[in-house]
Amino acid sequence: MTLVNHQSTGVEELLDVIEEVLIDNINDALAEIYARRELSDIARADRRGLDYVALTYETVPADHFHIGNFPSLVLEEIPPDQYPYIVLTVEDFVPDAEDIRQDHINVYRDALIVHCLAKSNIEEGPEVVFRRAIRMGEAVFMTLGTDPVTSGMLSTFSNPTRGQHSIPWTSNHKGRGENSWYQAVGMSYAIKNYTTMYD
């Protein structure tokens, strides 16, 4: 499926579609990924000579999605109970090499950015927060790749085109409360967007 927008770059339309699909499906995808990884988690603990402790996760509520910016980087840190959260934004949108102008349709390549931010407590440590963040990214990948609407939008490129993660950091809220570990995993997706100047 492609988005065809009239007299528009299609940025907001794209973000609305992605947000809806992720809100509806991200937590089911997380449950599947954690279940899939359980045997590997058990094997890793055994390999390291540690008692196995199941890696848990928190669901991502609908009000933990943010469009356009990171709330923790604007004015002040958001409180720990606002984690985990997901940020959706675009890096750029440019004419696509397929055809800058194809008859009456303009083709743009939108660079969708999805950042997943996770937390763990200090005792769990930085590896746990890394695994939670990377599994959130995997859940996004699974959701976008299996939903009938977004999978069609991603099919013309190898997606994600880029993935990266932040260095984990520790913080408490405004100097109060217990410290926690935080980490972000971000992925870039290339999506073709078709627009027309004609009704």
pLDDT tens readout for residues 75-126: 466 778 889 999 999 887 666 666 555 555 577 778 899 999 999 999 999 9
Residue 1 clears pLDDT 50, i.e. is over it: no
What was the pLDDT predicted at 102?
55
What's the whole-number average pLDDT of the chain? 85
Taking the C-alpha atoms of residue 165 and residue 137, their distance in angstroms, rounded to an integer, is 10
Q: pTM value?
A: 0.85
pLDDT band for position 191 (50/70/90)?
Answer: confident
Taking the C-alpha atoms of residue 182 and residue 194, their distance in angstroms, rounded to an integer, is 38
What was the pLDDT predicted at 75?
44
Taking the C-alpha atoms of residue 48 and residue 44, their distance in angstroms, rounded to an integer, is 6
| pLDDT single digits (tens) 29-68 | 999 999 999 999 999 999 999 999 999 999 999 999 999 8
φ, ψ at 133 (rounded to 5°): -65, -45
Angle at 176 between CA 60 and CA 53, to 5 degrees: 50
- Residue 113 contacts residue 139 (beta carbons within 8 Å): no
Which amino acid is it at 18?
A: I
Pairing mode of beta strands 105-121, 162-165: unpaired
State the residue range of the domain holding 153: 4-196
Reference 116, options 173, 164, 180; nearest CA is 164
| pLDDT single digits (tens) 131-180 | 999 999 999 999 999 999 899 888 878 888 889 989 888 876 566 667 88
Tally the domains of the chain. Answer: 1
- Determine whether 77 is exposed, middle or buried from the number of CB atoms within 10 Å of its CB (0-12, 13-18, 19+): middle
Residue 72 clears pLDDT 90, i.e. is over it: no
Q: What is the dihedral of CA 22, 70, 169, 186, to 10 degrees?
A: 50
